[in-house]
Amino acid sequence: MKILIHSLATAVFTLLPPISAQLSGSVGPTTSRTSKRSKVCNVLDYGGVASKTSDIGPPIASAFAACKNGGTVYIPPGDYGMSTWAALSGGKSWALQLDGIIYRVGTGGGHMISVSSTSDFEFYSSTSKGAMQGYGYTFHAGTLPPSSSPPSSSLPFPKSNFQPAGNYGPRLIRLTKVTDFSIHDLALVDAGAFHLIMDTCSDGEVYNMIIRGGNEGGLDGIDIWGSNIHVHDVEVTNRDECVTVKSPASNMLIENIYCNWSGGCAMGSLGSDTAISNIHYRNIYTQNSNQMYMLKSRGGSGSVKNCTFESFLGHSNAYTLDLNADWSSQKVATGYGVLYQDITFRDWRGTCSNGVQRGPVQVLCPDKVPCTGIVVEGFSVWTESGSSVVWKCQNAYGSGACLKAGSGSGYAVVTSTINTAPSGYASDPKMPNDLTAGFALTSSIPIPPIPTTFFPGATPASKLLGG
Bridge partners of residue 164, in order along the sequence: none
Chain mean pLDDT for the chain: 92
Strand pairing of 389-394 and 414-418?
antiparallel
CB count in 10 Å sphere of residue 271: 21
Q: Average pLDDT of 53-65?
A: 97
pLDDT surpassing 50 at residue 3: no
With a pLDDT cut of 90, the percent of the chain lying above it is: 86
- Report field, pTM of the whole predicted structure over 0.85: yes
pLDDT for residue 393 = 98
What is the SS3 string spanning 60-120?
HHHHHHHHCECCEEEECCCEEEECCCEEEECCEEEEEEECCEEEECCCCCCEEEEEEEEEE
- Does pLDDT of 12 surpass 50? no
Average pLDDT over residues 339-367: 97
Average pLDDT of span 40-60: 97
Give the chain's radius of gyration (CA, Å).
22
> Residue 44 has what pLDDT?
98
Domains of the chain, first to last:
22-261+446-459 (2.160.20.10), 266-434 (2.160.20.10)
Confidence of residue 167 (pLDDT cuts 50, 70, 90): confident
Q: CA–CA separation, 267 vs 222, rounded Å?
A: 12
pLDDT score of 140 more than 90: no
Q: 167-199 burial by CB neighbour count: b if 16+ within 10 A, else e?
A: ebbbbbbbbbebbbbbbbbbbbbbbbbbbbbbb
- Residue 251 pLDDT greater than 50, yes or no: yes
Residue 13 confidence (pLDDT) above 50: no
Instruction: List, in order, residues 6 or more apart from 34 with CB less than 8 Å away.
Output: none
Determine which helix (DSSP H) or strand (DSSP E) holds 58, and give its type and residue range.
Answer: helix 57-67
Q: What is the model's pLDDT at position 8?
A: 34
Please report the pLDDT score of residue 2 as a whole number.
Answer: 36
Report which residue type is found at 410: G
424 pLDDT band (50/70/90 cuts)? confident
Is pLDDT of 333 > 60?
A: yes
Confidence (pLDDT) at 426: 83
45: annotated active-site residue: no
Mean pLDDT of 377-389: 97
The arithmetic mean of pLDDT across residues 403-411, rounded, is: 96
Write down the catalytic residue from 195, 230, 280, 315. 315
Asked if 177 contacts 155 with a C-beta cutoff of 8 angstroms, the reply is no
Report residue 111 CA to chain centroid gap. 17
| 99 is annotated as an active-site residue | no
